A and B are shown apart, each in its own frame.
Chain A
Amino acid sequence: GIQVEQSPPDLILQEGANSTLRCNFSDSVNNLQWFHQNPWGQLINLFYIPSGTKQNGRLSATTVATERYSLLYISSSQTTDSGVYFCAGILTGGGNKLTFGTGTQLKVEL
């Protein structure tokens, strides 16, 4: 199956700072998603972004499928942004099965 690598594995920010999280995948994917897992374990879908750029408030994401990477931008970070960010992709021809990366653990401090 595909391999999904995320970087950095851990990140500590001061409130108000900006950050970029990266997701590299080993093979071609039809779809890519970004999720945020809050401290209670709930996974929230942030973006469904097979290609191009999308923005939602302080968050935006860009996927360049031909170069096999996706970026998640967090601007003006807040303590509520803390948690784990996962990217996940579906291998071309793999139905709807998502393969997850190991995540980026983000902590935003006051």
Chain B
Amino acid sequence: DGGITQSPKYLFRKEGQNVTLSCEQNLNHDAMYWYRQDPGQGLRLIYYSQIVNDFQKGDIAEGYSVSREKKESFPLTVTSAQKNPTAFYLCASSSEGFYGYTFGSGTRLTVV
């Protein structure tokens, strides 16, 4: 089945550590996105990529980094510069013609 796979589902990070969240899609979609969701809130865009080897900052990119070396993969690194990283992170993709987004099942990141 085609879809988006995010891993891990749960992730714990110590203060000062960088962690990387994985997002892989087999939908042959060109565009991929990372969103952050805080409790009781909507989704806010962190980074997005519309083509391999290119990506743009979203509304809350500070403290995050991404890469897009393959069409299928769009990993997100939460760096130590992100002061409040505890949140639910969702990855999504869309096709060039845009008939809607498909989301992964998310990663819950907690700072311990």
A-side residues, CB < 8 A to B, are 1, 4, 31, 33, 35, 40-45, 48, 86, 88, 90, 95-103
Would you give 8 A-B contacts (Cβ < 8 Å), ordered by A? Answer: A31-B98, A31-B100, A44-B103, A86-B43, A88-B43, A97-B33, A97-B45, A103-B42
Q: Mark B43-73, 1 if CB is under 8 A from A, else 0.
A: 1110010100000001100000000000000
Known contacts A95-B50, A97-B58; is-contact A45 B105 (Cβ 8 Å): no
Residues of A within 8 A of B76 (CB): none
Q: Contact check: which of A1, A41, A96 meets B88 at CB < 8 Å? A: A41
The reply to whether A41 and B106 form a contact with Cβ atoms under 8 Å apart is yes
Q: What is the size category of the interface that chain B forms with chain A? A: 20 to 34
Residues of B within 8 A of A96 (CB): 31, 48, 50, 94, 98
The reply to whether B48 and A100 form a contact with Cβ atoms under 8 Å apart is no
Residues of B within 8 A of A40 (CB): 105
Q: Contact check: which of A4, A41, A98 meets B101 at CB < 8 Å? A: A98
Q: Output the residue of A1, A45, A96, A98 with the most chain B CB within 10 A.
A: A96
Q: Which residue of A lies closest to B31 (CB)?
A: A96
A103 to B40, CA, bound (A): 9
Any chain A CB within 8 A of the CB of B84? no
B-side residues, CB < 8 A to A, are 31, 33, 35, 37, 41-45, 48, 50, 58-59, 88, 90, 92, 94, 98-103, 105-106, 108
Residues of A within 8 A of B31 (CB): 96
The reply to whether B100 and A48 form a contact with Cβ atoms under 8 Å apart is yes
